[in-house]
Amino acid sequence: MENELVPEIHDILKLAREIKKDGQTLNPHSKPELVINDLKDNPTWQGVCKHHHGERFKTFPDKSDLFLLDVADNLASSTSRVLRFGRGERYEIDDSVFRLWKNSSSDIEKGRKLRSLELKEIIEFVAQNPSWDKYREKYNQKLIQQAEDAKLGNNIVSLYTHSKLTGQFYRILKNAGFSILDTELTDRETVSENYKDIVGKWKLTVFKCKVNFSQKPFRVRDLNVLKVREDIINEIQQKFQDNVLFKTSNEILLISNDGMLSDQIEQIIALYGFWLEKVSATSPITGLKPNPLRVIGNKTFNKYQNLVDQINPPICEICQLAPAEYTRIDEKSGVKEELCKYCRQIQEGGERLTKLAKWTYVEDIRTAWLKVSLDFDKLADTLRQLYIEYLKWLDIPDPERKAEIRFSVLFEFQFDYDNFLNQLKEEIVSKFDDENVEQILGDFFCVKIDKLSEIIKILRIYKEFIECYFPKFKETPESPIKLVISCSHVKFPFFEHWRYLKNPEDDVNVMLIGRGKMNIKLKQLGNLLDLKLANKTAIERLARMAETSEELAFMQIFSEEGIKNHPELQEALKKGFNLRDLLTYVKIKSD
Amino acid sequence: MPEYLEYALESEALILGERIKGGIFRPSCKTLRWSTITMALRKLFGPKDIHAVVIFDPEPETTYFVYSPAERVTGINKVPLQVEVLNNVRGKVYIVKNGDVNFPEEFVIFLGALISKGFGKCNLKYEGKINNIERTKGILNTRIPIKYKDKFLIEEKDKPVYGYLFEPTSETSGIYIKSLFEGSEVVGPKFLLR
């Protein structure tokens, strides 16, 4: 790392306190010309001081690497330069990050300053030619707390996210072979002209890939397919670290300059017989959008491994998409299975879910499958609505035009989303005990429960954490984060649960296989859990009635007896709860 | 351009078992695929070049039926199986008009599994001929083999959902043929799309 530009450190001066010079209080980040000669031969320091070409700055990028850093800095910024505050436009400062999914107007503190480092400390640190890891290790908390752009309305991304993303974009541009001659960087005006020209010419492709499988998992061993898919996504992230901008357990967002990356990913996926749903959009750098689906002229297609026109029996019993080439006999049940090469490969991983495997051989065990999923398209749209709302609070004119959700905001969200999932898992394990929780994926668990009413514990935990991390999603018409709980006897085939788990109908969904289902909005969850259904006998009777006939149960709620025993249910129905949802909740509560 | 005969289909209870390894549970396919209806019509009207698909509307309700098949030789009941049943099924059958077969105005056909137990009876009633086909881009609502997609004026687009349907080649055997499944993005007759 010696004598190489470390792009992630380019904004370190944003952590510096103001300095006094010639009777003025100055911000070192805005006046890099005052400090540029402090570390003349240090490439990272040159990057710190010369990565802007705007009018406000006296320095400018005068080498190709620095020019790439300037472009990367813009790609990774929270707001488009085009839509930033213009000359003479008033703005106020808050160094703290305003998280669109969490914060409200009461969290804003105008004039708040968090930058606390002395300039001398920063110069001494950069003089050691630190790496990104060293930078993070030393200043992690400060980077997370400090907004990349402290102007109110722009302070929606942390310096940590911006720094990391700048590094990624810098390397993407460099590895793509984008460059500019030093002779075209002789003065700020020329740089500015060339910049405008180049960002219209250099093109990158954003593509979003959803990895799907055709297998219908039935036995515990078949569930390896989910683990394998997660492993593949992690492998893609490891292999193409700089290109991956966002990921979940089944979807990944990448950026690249050519189709080779996409081809390599398709080859990795095809090894396991998976298929890809892909959306891609190629745009000049100025027009890059994080959701390729929203780009005019995008390409969408499904990519399968080579499928033959016809298959002579036998066909693989698990995926039904390839000829069966192997016969496997299950050791415990003695059942024979005809498998293709892909499904055999997946099953060869052995039983990775050991607790679940144990449960399936014990009688009378009930399980609740719990899946949290993120709708990427809905996320981008929801964040934009929240951003418009934030700008309106600040009375910033033309909010609909200015509210653009960029890569950095999604990256910032990913950080909180991953923490949310980790905390959710820890709390579920803590409340149900580790031996009763099988974690299948980061967002997918199986919990052994004794009675249906334990589902309420899961719902309370979910409510607690989603309100802690993403309280604003309660206010939006639809939450981009969905929860599905599907509950039955442990021996019920998983592929039937999977049908519900992978297709959430609403924000919070509970499926009691063969007994009922509940699909409600996130904002209704609190009211539902607050319903005081005190008369246990009456509730149990109502639940039994509902098993036979929902209409009969409805009449019971509004009968004379219902007025006495179920006033809360009557109120809930009047407030817009659906009868079917309420009756399913009653069944859960009564068990 | 092919013409289609449209029939209204009604059935109290149907079991359209999926080909999935489910142990003691057999889910039902939620669409009436080409292979099921076509083979049933060929069985009734002879092994002619008959092709048909069905679109359910509305989506049928599902319940479960438990039964215990007995060994033929010993008569002993094996482990009980739970099958998914489609109830109060309503839909439209689209038969590719065929000069060889004179389809009646109304007829009864048996589809799916456990016919001996009373499932699968479908009443078909002729509703009319469709010849001015309006084709549009949309999402396929049934399953059609790729080799017969032209009979239904289906054109694959970039987002197919593939699977395989069984086509008998004799009384005792057959092959699995590559097919477009429900959810595929296609250009086709409006009546075959979601």
- The answer to whether B159 contacts A315, with C-beta atoms less than 8 Å apart, is no
What's the whole-number mean pLDDT along residues B25-41?
A: 87
Read off the amino acid at residue A441. L
- What mean pLDDT, rounded, does chain A reach? 90
What angle is formed at CA A404 by the lines to CA A401 and CA A405, rounded to 5 degrees?
A: 160
Q: Are A252 and A237 in contact (CB under 8 A)?
A: yes
- The CA distance from B8 to the nearest CA of chain A, in Å, is 29
Q: What percent of chain A has pLDDT over 90?
A: 63
Nearest residue of B to residue A276 by CA position?
B159
Those residues with Cβ within 8 angstroms of residue B180's Cβ, 6 or more apart along the chain or in another chain = B140, B143, B144, B145, B146, B149, B154, B156, B160, B161, B162, B186
Question: Which residue among B158, B160, B176 places its CB closest to the CB of A310?
Answer: B176
pLDDT grade, residue A552 (50/70/90)? confident
Q: How far apart are CA A51 and CA A68, in angstroms?
A: 9
pLDDT grade, residue A1 (50/70/90)? very low
Chain B contacts of A308, Cβ < 8 Å?
A: 178
- The answer to whether A218 contacts B27, with C-beta atoms less than 8 Å apart, is no
Name the helix (H) or strand (E) containing B76. Answer: none
What angle is formed at CA A410 by the lines to CA A409 and CA A415, rounded to 5 degrees?
A: 100
For the packed helices A454-469 and A522-530, what is the interaxial angle rounded to 10 degrees?
A: 130
Chain A contacts of B170, Cβ < 8 Å?
A: none
What's the whole-number mean pLDDT along residues A510-534?
A: 90
Q: β-pairing, A481-489 with A508-512?
A: parallel
Q: How far apart are CA B119 and CA B123, in angstroms?
A: 12
Read off the amino acid at residue A416. D
Read off the amino acid at residue A146. Q
Higher-confidence residue: A548 or A99?
Answer: A99
User: Terminal CA-to-CA distance of chain B, rounded, Å?
Assistant: 22
| A168-190 tens-digit pLDDT | 999 999 999 999 999 999 999 99
| A29-84 tens-digit pLDDT | 988 988 888 898 999 999 999 999 988 888 999 999 999 999 999 999 988 655 56
- The answer to whether A320 contacts B163, with C-beta atoms less than 8 Å apart, is yes
Question: Which residue among B24, B163, B173 places its CB closest to the CB of A321?
Answer: B163
Q: Are A458 and A448 in contact (CB under 8 A)?
A: no
Tokens 């590719």: give the residue. B96
- Residue A581 phi/psi, 5° resolution? -65, -45
Question: CB distance from B164 to chain A under 8 Å?
Answer: yes
Q: What is the ipTM of this complex?
A: 0.88
| A81-118 tens-digit pLDDT | 555 665 556 678 899 999 999 999 899 999 999 999 99
Residue B21, pLDDT > 80, answer: no
For the packed helices A159-175 and A132-145, what is the interaxial angle rounded to 10 degrees?
A: 140
Question: CB distance from B175 to chain A under 8 Å?
Answer: yes
Question: CB distance from B79 to chain A under 8 Å?
Answer: no
Interface of A with B (CB under 8 A): 214, 216, 218, 275, 277, 299-302, 304, 307-313, 315, 317-318, 320-321, 335, 337, 491-493, 495-496, 514
Chain B contacts of A318, Cβ < 8 Å?
A: 21
Count Cα atoms within 13 angstroms, Cβ side, for A464.
Answer: 12
- Give the pLDDT confidence score for residue A547 in this predicted structure: 80
pLDDT grade, residue A590 (50/70/90)? confident
| A190-220 tens-digit pLDDT | 999 999 999 889 999 999 999 999 988 877 8
Question: Which residue among B158, B164, B174 places its CB closest to the CB of A301?
Answer: B158
- Give the pLDDT confidence score for residue A89 in this predicted structure: 65
| A394-407 tens-digit pLDDT | 998 889 988 999 99
- What mean pLDDT, rounded, does chain B reach? 89
- The CA distance from B124 to the nearest CA of chain A, in Å, is 30
Read off the pTM: 0.89
What's the whole-number mean pLDDT along residues A141-156?
A: 94
Question: CB distance from B80 to chain A under 8 Å?
Answer: no
Torsion from C-alpha of A380, A381, A385, A390, nearest 10 degrees: 10
Nearest residue of B to residue A304 by CA position?
B162
Q: How far apart are CA A570 and CA B52, in angstroms?
A: 49
- The answer to whether A337 contacts B21, with C-beta atoms less than 8 Å apart, is yes
Q: Are B32 and B80 in contact (CB under 8 A)?
A: no
- Give the pLDDT confidence score for residue A55 in this predicted structure: 84
Residue B59, pLDDT > 50, answer: yes
- Give the pLDDT confidence score for residue B157 in this predicted structure: 93
Question: CB distance from B67 to chain A under 8 Å?
Answer: no
